[in-house]
Amino acid sequence: MTETQELAGPIDHAGEPQPARIRSFVRRQGRITPAQRKALDELLPRFGLDPSLPLAPRATFGRDAPVFVEIGFGNGETLAHLAEIQPEHDFIGIEVHPPGIGHLLLELERRGLGNVRVYTHDAVEVLERCVPDASLSGLFVFFPDPWHKKRHQKRRLLNPEFVRLAVGKLRAGGLFHAATDWEDYAHQMLDVLGACPELVNADPSGGFSERPVYRPETKFERRGQRLGHGVWDLVFHRSALTAGEASP
């Protein structure tokens, strides 16, 4: 899909184009291994979720448990780790790049994890269409594309509009945890999250947090640190439900 296609707006019921929403990603096929391709063919029907249907965690996982979502899970390293160390929780990953999805599916099969499901779709649309308000116990955004060139920074995922949408999906006390290795993006994230009235910074000084023990240090992160990159974690919690909003 080209960048022009990514920027195209939807068509309303009258056939009129709607204002374009700038997406935070551009689809790139990337190199996919035969094993990853096989996983997409054979395992995605088991672990995949339909982005045209409302999310129903009890029916999906066969139980009532806290649900956490990771947006842009990359190769799934962190998501598989979280699901393995927290079997009492259920996890949903959202990713659009086939090699990473295939890699996660292989890990789920290898580790025998049944508490993970996957959307292979635009995360903003999944949140808008599928996820009920005040239903999530946590939401993770780890190392999103920094779009470091100034002309591309309008594509950054963590903007005020996205944060309002995402926070509305959290239960009272729900976790919003982001991390990045781009310092200017880290400060932008801190400004945006700090400006949201429904979020409370877990850091008493209102700054960045230490990496929580549940978030593993990834290969990507270690490589960046060898190159001298810093890493910034931002941990917030939803303070309360807004008027008219009810926890399911």
129: closest CA among 191, 59, 63, 50? 50
What residues pair up with 139 in beta bridges, in sequence order?
69, 176
Distance in angstroms (rounded) separating the CA atoms of residues 61 and 216 = 25
Q: What is the spatial distance between Cα 215 and Cα 177, in angstroms, rounded to a whole number?
A: 10
Alpha carbons 157 and 143: distance in angstroms, whole number: 11
Cα gap 193→166, rounded to integer Å: 11
Angle separating helix axes 160-167 and 183-194, nearest 10 degrees = 60
The strand pairing partners of 194, in sequence order, are none
Look up residue 234 and give its two tokens: 């931002």
Cβ–Cβ under 8 Å, residues 130 and 106 = no
Q: What's the angle, vertex CA 110, arms to CA 70 and CA 114, rounded to 5?
A: 55
Tally of CB atoms within 10 A around 173 = 14
Q: What is the DSSP letter of 75?
A: T
Which residues are known catalytic residues? 145
